[in-house]
Amino acid sequence: MLTRRICDQWRRNGRIPPESSPGLNLSLDRLSTRFYCLLPAAAGNDMRIALFGDIHANLEALNAVLEDAASQDCTEWVCLGDIVGYNANPGECLDLIREMECPVVKGNHDEDASGDHCLETMNPTAATALEWTREQLSDEQREWLHTLRMVRQVSAFTVVHSTLDQPQAWNYVTNKFDAMSNFSYQFTHVCFHGHTHVPRVFVKENRVGEVAAELVEVEKDLKYFINIGSVGQPRDGDPRACYAIYDIPRNLIIFRRVDYDRKTTQQKILDAGLPPNLAERLADGR
Ligand SMILES: [Fe+2]
* Low-confidence stretches of the chain (pLDDT beneath 70): 1-46
Give 105 Cα–ligand 1 centroid separation in angstroms. Answer: 12
Give 109 Cα–ligand 1 centroid separation in angstroms. Answer: 7
pLDDT at 121: 87
Give 15 Cα–ligand 1 centroid separation in angstroms. Answer: 32
- Amino acid present at 23: G
Give 82 Cα–ligand 1 centroid separation in angstroms. Answer: 5
pLDDT at 47: 87
Give 95 Cα–ligand 1 centroid separation in angstroms. Answer: 18
Give 281 Cα–ligand 1 centroid separation in angstroms. Answer: 14
pLDDT at 186: 97
Dist. CA 98–CA 194, nearest whole Å = 19
Determine the 3-state secondary structure of 181 from DSSP: helix
CA-closest candidate to residue 35, choices 6, 65, 68: 6
The dotted CATH code for 4-284 is 3.60.21.10
- How far is CA 50 from each of CA 68, 129, 165, 174, 176, rounded to the nearest angstrom? 10, 28, 24, 23, 25
* Pairing between β-strand 76-79 and β-strand 200-204 as defined by DSSP bridges: unpaired
Is residue 176 within 8 Å of residue 143, measured between CB atoms? no
Domain boundaries defined on the chain? 4-284
Those residues whose beta carbon sits under 5 angstroms from the ion ligand 1 are: 54, 82
Give 243 Cα–ligand 1 centroid separation in angstroms. Answer: 13
Peptide bond into 40 cis (omega under 30): yes
DSSP 8-state class, residue 22: G
pLDDT at 18: 33
Contacts of 50 by beta carbon, 8 Å cutoff, 6+ apart = 65, 66, 69, 72, 74, 76, 77, 78, 243, 244, 245
